[in-house]
Structure 1
Amino acid sequence: MDALITGSLLLSVLHALIPSHWLPFVTIGQTEQWSLRQTLVVTAISGLAHTISTTLLGILVSLAGWQLAEGYQNLLERAIPLLLLMLGLWYLMQHLRHRHVHDHIDAGSVRKARSFSALILSLGVVMFLSPCLEIEAYFLSAGVQGWGAVVLVAIIYNVITLSGMLLMVTLGRRGLKRINSHWFEHHENLITGLTLVGLAVFNFFIEF
């Protein structure tokens, strides 16, 4: 259980720090001359849409883990680090190919919807249709352990991701954007891949 909590927490923090999850809200908010409160409201609504779709997908993955738990628990416990490793290697390959797989929001195209309500709807739909896959291995592991573990992973993921996005938007509005975030954006696949590979190694030696 400790490995499940630690892995879910680390991935959720990393998830919230990815620039594509908060920087577009800063830039759109400044372009539209929103107040900080308006920007945070839009971030919260869009972030919630994103975490809900990821959680719903996670519940489906948990059902698969629950169905297989009785006869294949040992196999699943060894398969989860392998899934993390494969996903991590995939992100590393995307980095080498200079492809960005976390670009949930195209700020330029979203700005075409000029009204406040239309922007909220556009951002919410984009984020809902772009669930993140990194956390799903932990939902699979949680399904093996029971629904209490699934709820725990969901709470960690939702609370940390939403809180992190709101914090980063607040800092962004207060001048964090002056720090060159391009490096983080350019290397986010590398950072994500290395984190997933590290978690795979960690979870291979420590039981969920």
Structure 2
Amino acid sequence: MDSILIGSLTLSLLHALIPSHWLPFVTIGQTERWSLRQTLTVTTIAGLAHTISTTLLGVLVSLAGWQLAENYHDLSERAIPLLLLALGLWYLMQHLRHRHVHDHIDTDTARKARSFSALLLSLGLAMFLSPCLEIEAYFLSAGAKGWSAVLLVALIYNVVTLSGMLVMVAIGRRGLQRVNPHWFEHYENLITGLTLVGLAILNFFIEF
């Protein structure tokens, strides 16, 4: 159970720090001359749309984890780290191919919707339709443990991701974007891939 909590916390924090989860809100907010309160409001609503869609998908994945544990106990203990490893290797391949798979928001398209309500709808919809798949491995694992574990993973993911996004947006408004966060964005696939591979190796030696 500890590996599920540590892994969920690690991935949630990592995603909150990825620029594609907060930088568009900073840049659009500055372009539209939003106040800090308006920017954080939009971030909260869009962030909730993102975490809710991820959680809904996670609940469905949890059902698969429950069935896996019921019928193939030994397999269920290996399925999660193998899934994490596969995802990690996929992200590493994307890095080698120089593709960015975390671009949830088309900033140029969003900026064309000039009204506040139109921007809010555009950003919220973009985030809702792009759930994060990495955390689903832990929903699958939690499903094998029961619904209390699923609820705990969902709580960790929602609170940490949304809180992290809000903190990064608030800091970004004060000038963090001048430090060139695009460096992190360029290497986000590499960082995500190495994190997932590391968690997979860790989970091979820790019982779920």
Q: Normalising by the residue count of structure 2, what TM-score does the alignment of the two structures yield?
A: 0.99
Residue deviations 1:125-170 (CA, integer Å, cap 9, x gap): 0000000000000000000000000000000000000000000000
Give percent identity, aligned residues only.
82
Corresponding position of 1:144: 144
Match of 2:55, SS state, is helix
Give the letter aligned to residue 132 of structure 1.
C
Residue deviations 1:68-121 (CA, integer Å, cap 9, x gap): 222212211111100000000000000000000000011111111111011000
Give the letter aligned to residue 93 of structure 1.
M
Where does 1:133-172 land on structure 2 (aligned, <5 Å)?
133-172=133-172
Q: Which is worse superposed, 184-193 or 70-79?
A: 70-79
Distance in 1, matches of 2:137 and 2:73, equals 14
Q: Which runs of 5+ in 2 are unaligned?
A: none
1:76 and 2:92 matched: no
Distance in 2, matches of 1:143 and 1:13, equals 21
Q: Which is worse superposed, 67-76 or 7-16?
A: 67-76
Corresponding position of 1:92: 92
Distance in 1, matches of 2:21 and 2:88, equals 19
Corresponding position of 1:54: 54
Distance in 2, matches of 1:199 and 1:55, equals 20
Q: Compute the displacement of 1:192 (Å).
A: 0.2
Distance in 2, matches of 1:77 and 1:18, equals 30
Q: Which runs of 5+ in 1 are unaligned?
A: none
Distance in 2, matches of 1:165 and 1:69, equals 34
Corresponding position of 1:173: 173
Corresponding position of 1:15: 15
Distance in 2, matches of 1:14 and 1:3, equals 16
Do 2:62 and 2:141's aligned partners in 1 also have CA atoms closer than 8 Å? Answer: yes
Distance in 2, matches of 1:145 and 1:160, equals 22
Corresponding position of 1:36: 36
Match of 1:105, SS state, is coil
Corresponding position of 1:190: 190
**Length, aligned pairs only:** 208
Q: Compute the displacement of 1:187 (Å).
A: 0.4
Match of 1:98, SS state, is coil
Do 2:68 and 2:75's aligned partners in 1 also have CA atoms closer than 8 Å? Answer: no
Corresponding position of 1:104: 104
Distance in 2, matches of 1:56 and 1:73, equals 25
Do 2:28 and 2:107's aligned partners in 1 also have CA atoms closer than 8 Å? Answer: yes
